[in-house]
Structure 1
Amino acid sequence: MAELNHTIVWATDRGASAEFLAGVLGLAVGEETEPFLPVVLGNGVTLDFAQAGRAHKVAGQHYAFLVSDAEFDAALERLTASGTAIYADPLHRTTGINGMFGGRGFYFDDPDGHNMELLTRAG
């Protein structure tokens, strides 16, 4: 069986992007392991934020996070307080929260336009 261990998230300001996502999820940014700034998720997977330069342009990616109802509510409150737009669909056509898979979910952009998703039930 294979398990995801880490993935690189390219950012124009890796510190700001790592802090943004860690703040939304109620996590801390890990210790820098050059050239990465990690955000460690509860299942041990790390998102390794890397500084984009001329060789690596930031292309928007999609990252989905399965969270508990309490974590969902806390993240929604943080994003709403910061004025971050919340969308019910991945193409950002409808604002609000969806009810996919019998749970709740929403999408939002990080500072570099990565399409982030929080959901309470997976399909």
Structure 2
Amino acid sequence: MQALNWTPALWLDFEPMDAMNRDFMALLGRAQEASDDTLVAAWQALVAHAARHFGTEDTWMQQEAFATAEQHTLEHRVVLNLLREGLVQAQGGDQAPVRQMAAELGAWFSRHTQSLDAALALHMRRATPSRAATD
């Protein structure tokens, strides 16, 4: 399992995204460490956060007519659907898929943040310079 540590490589210099990313990492860490009794609740919190997090980014991309929005939004949709499917399975008593997703999600998150999110953060800093400091 990839250890989840906030590193300078994940910093995007756009605080609204950085805050959401730190929260995502914290929730994923809780899910990874959850006992069998607390896994469903931890995963549910991660799924709820991911839905808000991805929705916020998708809205920004739509508002800004961001060039690679379609690819970025599609990736959000696929990952969120997988997270939700895992939740249903865990709620039904099969925790193995969620444990596997929790183990692999950190690597995906790092790649996503350093590529797609980094490009969006750069665009947002340029499009709304005052927003980076106030949100």
TM bucket (normalised to shorter chain) is 0.3 to 0.5
Structure with larger RCO (C-alpha < 8 A, sep 6+) = 2
**TM-score (ref. length: structure 1):** 0.33
Q: Give the strand-richer structure, 1 or 2.
A: 1
Larger Rg: 2
**TM-score (ref. length: structure 2):** 0.31
